[in-house]
Amino acid sequence: MCGIVGYVGEREALPIILESLKRIEYRGYDSCGVFVLLEDGNPKLHKDAGTIDHLKKNLSESEYRGNVAIGHTRWATHGEPSKRNAHPHLDGKGEIAVVHNGIIENYQHIKEELLNQGYEFVSETDTEVIPHLINLSLKKFNWQLKEAVREALARLKGSYAIIVAEKGFEGLVAARNESPLIIGVGDRENFIASDVPAVLEQTNRVIYLEEGDLAVVKKDSIYIENGGVEVRREERLIPWTIEDAEKGGYEHFMLKEIHEEPRAIMDTLRGYLAEDRINLGFELEGNAKGKSILMVACGTSYYATLCGKQIIENLARVPVQVELASEFNYSDFVLDGTNIIAMAITQSGETADTLMALKKAKRYGSKTVAITNVLGSSATRIADETIYTGAGPEIGVAATKSFVAQLVIFYLLGLSLAKMPESEFRGYLEELRGMPKIAQIVLDEEDTNIQRHARYLSKYEHAFFVGRGVNLPIALEGALKLKEISYIHAEGYAAGELKHGPFALLTEDTPVVAILTRQPLGKFDQQPFKKSLIKNATQASQNIYEKTLGNVKEIKARGSPVIAIAEEGDEEVEKYVDAVIRVPETSTIFSPIPNTVALHLLAYWTAKERGCEIDKPRNLAKSVTVE
Ligand code: F6R
């Protein structure tokens, strides 16, 4: 949600700033801007509505030569997306420039105060109060920028990550409170950014600023203080490479990231699985004894978590409660927090609602665990323990590979907590280890078929996705993915629920995507390790399959076209549906993996067919750092 970057060093700053902004454009892309301290000592600002590419077109780079600069790419909160509201924002003299990610909650009050003192405002943003406040404090502190910024920040309520540049100051001042900010450490140069991919091309040495940190970054020094006292922050080596954060020949990040799903599964497994032992890096079993699990998340991570609930409850028989973080934050906490392990599931580790929920659970005495994809992200610093998904950097705004990596963590959690005979446990692990291959089969064998179905789906304006059991959350995820990138109105439903209302919407113009995978009868019989569960599990999955097929027949009777996701070899299904996407056979509990890969491809190709801006869907941004 807004990306900010800064550079100070010996090289030309502007190309580095533009490149860095481009790499984190997923954080917002409705307007952008840069501020450069020129070689002659004068500052120069350029900003506009639209994307970085658009900004570059009207920017004569040779007029912006200088070694210190800041930049911003915006996702509007206060004030429409426009040149006027784009960052950087300046003080009245145009000498102090600020880029900001977050929301200043008390800006209106401060603005009125500043207006009364004669300050003039040119934008509708909350951010503009910051350069004016700094200007106000500069005189008091004998023109010392660090002190002036510190005093200005003391007036602010809300969330912020800011970078400040000032005419005549050979460095940058940065600060954070509830919004992410990192410093990339270079050789006679340093970088500041909201997110690691912004600096990866330059360095993989990174310092994560903490809540309340204020930093003065110069080309050969980094000073950090908190509460006015100097602090030391550890420098970390980021394992991601620049290739990880590039498109690698794919047209869109999203397609590349879908194709990385097998690797995301493998790398996540690799982190925690040695031989036949799962080691999550902390003592889960002892901590979980006699407790239930509370999971909080938003969006796609929430759907993964709904699936995780079923996986863990099925494997380990431990009760799991799943809450939307944004709702949990304002609901009564009626449980005894000390009897709960609270887990926050967040790809970015920076989603504001999820972080608040994590803090709330902590306040109530729960042991807390962050499940995240980003090393050193805010969630990792709040939680007692962290489990990393090994998806690598995810740039496409629509989450894909992080979703399957989160599922893998749920399998590992479920199996870690499960009490089952060793042979059964090994059987599950064996099937889990085979999941990268299963995901790869969908990519290799069904992509062309899915493209054909996507062409068909792309002609419609409404669609339903249905599933049952462990595949209901996958139907919800399929619908979310389709709507956010193709703008087709899509709803995910429990297959049995359509007849309780949504049936009224079914016509020949409302296609339904039905997840119809099943555990074929007899498969369990070939796997002695599951003998204890054979009867129940086989019965249950067969029932789910038959019931869903029954629902599909009801849907067909209302005239809606049906696309089924079904297993290889299931010929029965063809009699009832209009099209079939094939996925390899798996046990029911693992079927969400191939089904997800298929639905991610379907959403991608449908959006592509409709000519949508796939990596930058309208009105969205990755990493939602505001409530
Ligand atoms: C949708 C999507 C979002 C995120 C949500 C939570 O494709 O990406 O719904 O899943 O904003 O983000 P994280 O997982 O970073 O907390």
586 CB within 6 A, ligand 1: no
Q: Which of 24, 258, 295, 298 to mutate to test the pocket of ligand 1 (most atoms within 8 A of CB)?
A: 298
In a domain, 199, yes or no: yes
* Both structure tokens of 255: 């397609």
pTM of the model: 0.86
- pLDDT score recorded for residue 535: 53
Neighbours of 359 (CB within 10 A): 16
Residue 525 confidence (pLDDT): 37
Residue 43 lies in a domain: yes
Residue 81 belongs to domain with CATH number = 3.60.20.10
**Ligand 1 atom closest to the CA of 297, numbered from 1:** 16
Residue nearest to atom 3 of ligand 1 (CA): 299
In this structure, the answer to whether residues 200 and 317 fall within a common structural domain is no
Query: Are residues 235 and 262 both part of a single domain?
Result: no
Residues 538, 530: Cα–Cα separation, whole Å: 10
| Same-domain pairing of 409 and 460 | no
Tens digit of each residue's pLDDT (9 = 90 or more) over 246-276: 888 899 999 999 999 999 999 999 999 988 8
Low-confidence ranges of the chain (pLDDT < 50): 520-531, 534
**Cβ–ligand 1 contact at 614 (below 6 Å):** no
Residues 184 and 148 grouped into a single domain: yes
Catalytic annotation on 2?
yes
From 222, 242, 262, the end of a domain falls on 242
- Same domain for 258 and 238, yes or no, is no
622 is catalytic: yes
pLDDT digits (tens, 9 = 90+) for 46-89: 999 999 999 999 899 899 999 999 999 998 888 888 999 999 99
Q: How far is the CA of 310 from the centre of ligand 1 (A)?
A: 20
**Predicted local confidence at residue 33, as pLDDT:** 97
Question: Is the residue at 429 inside a domain?
Answer: no
3-state helix, strand, coil in the chain (%, to 5): 40, 25, 35
Say if ligand 1 is within 6 A of residue 458 CB: no
Predicted local distance difference test score (pLDDT) of residue 288: 76
Please count the CA atoms within 13 angstroms of the CA of 239 that sit on its side-chain side. Answer: 9
**Nearest atom in ligand 1 to 481's CA:** 7
What spacing in Å lies between the alpha carbon of 348 and ligand 1's midpoint? 8
Sheet bearing 89-90, strands edge to edge: 89-90, 96-104, 158-166, 172-177, 213-218, 221-226, 229-230
Query: Which domain range does residue 322 map to?
Result: 253-419
446 and 531 inside one domain: yes
Which residues, including other chains, have CB under 8 Å from residue 40's CB and lie 6 or more apart?
none
Residue 308 and residue 160 in one domain:
no
Would you tell me the crossing angle of helices 261-272 and 401-417 to the nearest 10 degrees? 30
The answer on 322 and 465 residing in a single domain is no
Take residue 238 and report the two structure tokens written for it.
Answer: 């980021």
- Rounded CA-CA distance 70/55 in Å is 14
Beta carbons within 10 angstroms of residue 319's beta carbon:
13
**450 in a structural domain:** yes
Residue where a domain stops, chosen among 242, 276, 303? 242
Residue 355 sits in the same domain as residue 472: no
Q: Dig out the tokens for 146 from the structure.
A: 């660090």
> Is residue 425 domain-resident?
no
What CATH number corresponds to the domain at position 553?
3.40.50.10490
Q: Residue 430 domain-assigned?
A: no
**Is residue 621 lining ligand 1, measured as CB closer than 6 Å?**
no
Evaluate whether 454 touches 448 at the Cβ level (below 8 Å). Answer: no
Four-CA torsion 397, 384, 264, 348, nearest 10 degrees: 10
Domain count, the chain: 3
- CA 373 – ligand 1 centroid, Å: 12
| CA distance to 473, 508, 586, 608, per residue, from 305 (Å) | 8, 33, 20, 28
249, with CB counted inside 10 A (0-12, 13-18, 19+), is exposed
| Strand 3-8 to 68-74 pairing | antiparallel
pLDDT at position 526 is 40
| Cα–Cα dist 130/109, whole Å | 13
> Residue with the nearest Cα to atom 7 of ligand 1?
398
On whether both 151 and 268 belong to a single domain, the answer is no
CB 558 within 8 A of CB 507: yes
Query: Could you say which of 393, 419, 445 is where a domain stops?
Result: 419
Same domain, yes or no, for 459 and 585? Answer: yes
Cα dihedral across residues 601, 602, 605, 611: positive or negative: negative
Question: Hey, what amino acid is at 591?
Answer: S
Please tell me the distance between residue 112's alpha carbon and the centre of ligand 1 in angstroms.
Answer: 36
Which tokens in the block code for residue 621?
Answer: 């941004």
Structure tokens at 66: 């200088």
Ligand 1 pocket residue status of 354, Cβ below 6 Å: yes
Q: Is residue 562 part of a domain?
A: yes
For ligand 1, the distance from its centroid to the CA atom of residue 131, given in whole angstroms, is 32
Residue 342, SS3 per DSSP: strand
Q: Which residues contact 143 (CB under 8 A, 6 or more apart)?
A: none
Assigned domain for 185 exists: yes
Q: Are residues 587 and 520 in the same domain?
A: yes
Closest by CA to 467, choosing from 570, 591, 571, is 591
